[in-house]
Amino acid sequence: MRKKLSDILVTVALCAVGVMLILKQEIVSEAVISAVKVCVYRIIPSLFAMTAVSTAISKSGIISGIMRFKRLDANILTAFIFGNIGGYPIGAKLLSEMVSDGRISCEDAEDAICFCYGCGPAFAAGVVGTAVFGNIEYGIAALAAVILANATMYAVYLIKHKSASSHMALQTQGFSTKLMTDSVSSASGAMVGICSMIVFFSVLKAILFSCFPKLSELRYLASVLEISNISSLSARQGVSLVTVALLLNFGGVCVILQIFAIVNGNFRLGKFCLSRITALILTGGYAILIRKLLSRMGIEAAAAEKIRLSQSSSLIPIICVAAMVFITLSEQKKGGVNR
């Protein structure tokens, strides 16, 4: 009965969205164009190369070959490092691949995703630090609070699993042309999925705000829905380091949906969703301490600069995106033929 009711509600919601797509064509078009620009000029430049490199390092097994710590799983450590310095989806992508390869269990992936989740220094310094505080140090400080919270959760994980047997690691094979090609193809597929979700979510948000204009007056709602909107906030409006750190830790509804799409059922995400409460509490505590430290050091937020998306008519970014889509479709076609 409940399933039937939920199916009816989803159907009604989708029909309502379909109607609004027709009635709000101008708003929808603007939302799509804006989201595509965000993907081309922000998301892909900050995530694509890191995704490809982290995938190559993970699949090469080189960290497992270097590390000799019996109590420290190189697979989880790899996901922790790149999940925090690479950007939100990278940790989930690596863990999902590790589960598929049999390197870690689903249970460990469910635990690890809780602390392999961060915005990365590129977004923190380039967008948050510059746009919100006018000071890159403040952006890095907000990121530090998130990483410290994740490191604390990682430490708890290690204590709980100190007696667990080591997981399977890929045999160290070094870097090769095939490894890099596969990694680039994998990164291309991930970028297409991430950007598609951002565009779709941008459309939903535009429709929601157009139907309920009062929602746009809620200062933090846009950032809660899609984290890139954090660039519209400003320290001059009373936005604090603690608030920004909490927003970065949460990552936004859109990013969380991207995580679900990337994991694609390889492991459950119930623990991840519940862990956001603990992560937010830890992040808030660390952010308060870091804010006091910055104040004692005399480091203050400056006049924030507006982050503008490029207005250049250059076709290079568009060509790169088209090539990425082509690579993804080609790989999917090959996969279908092999099956």
Q: What is the mean pLDDT of the chain?
A: 78
Query: pLDDT at residue 313 above 50?
Result: no
* Tokens of residue 46, six digits: 């900050």
pLDDT recorded at residue 144: 95
pLDDT recorded at residue 283: 96
**DSSP state, residue 339:** -
pLDDT recorded at residue 108: 92
**DSSP state, residue 132:** I
205-231 pLDDT, tens digit per residue, is 888 888 888 887 888 888 898 887 887
64-89 pLDDT, tens digit per residue, is 555 555 566 788 888 898 889 887 88
129-to-136, 162, 234, 236 alpha-carbon distances in Å: 4, 38, 10, 13
How many CB atoms within 10 Å of residue 52?
21
- State the pTM of this model: 0.76
Out of 118-132, 175-189, 265-279, least confident range: 175-189
Tell which wins on pLDDT, 60 or 225. 225
Asked if 132 contacts 244 with a C-beta cutoff of 8 angstroms, the reply is: yes
Residue 280: its H or E element: helix 270-297
What lies within 8 Å, CB to CB, of 100 at 6+ separation is: 266
Give which of 84, 97, 63 is closest to 262, Cα–Cα.
97
Residue labelled with tokens 């006018």 = 134
92-to-60, 74, 120, 121, 275 alpha-carbon distances in Å: 18, 16, 14, 17, 15
User: Mean pLDDT throughout 44-62?
Assistant: 72
Asked if 50 contacts 120 with a C-beta cutoff of 8 angstroms, the reply is: yes
User: Mean pLDDT throughout 175-200?
Assistant: 76
User: Mean pLDDT throughout 171-192?
Assistant: 70
Distance CA 80, CA 91 (A): 7
Distance CA 119, CA 83 (A): 8
Asked if 57 contacts 93 with a C-beta cutoff of 8 angstroms, the reply is: no
pLDDT tier at 282, thresholds 50, 70, 90: very high
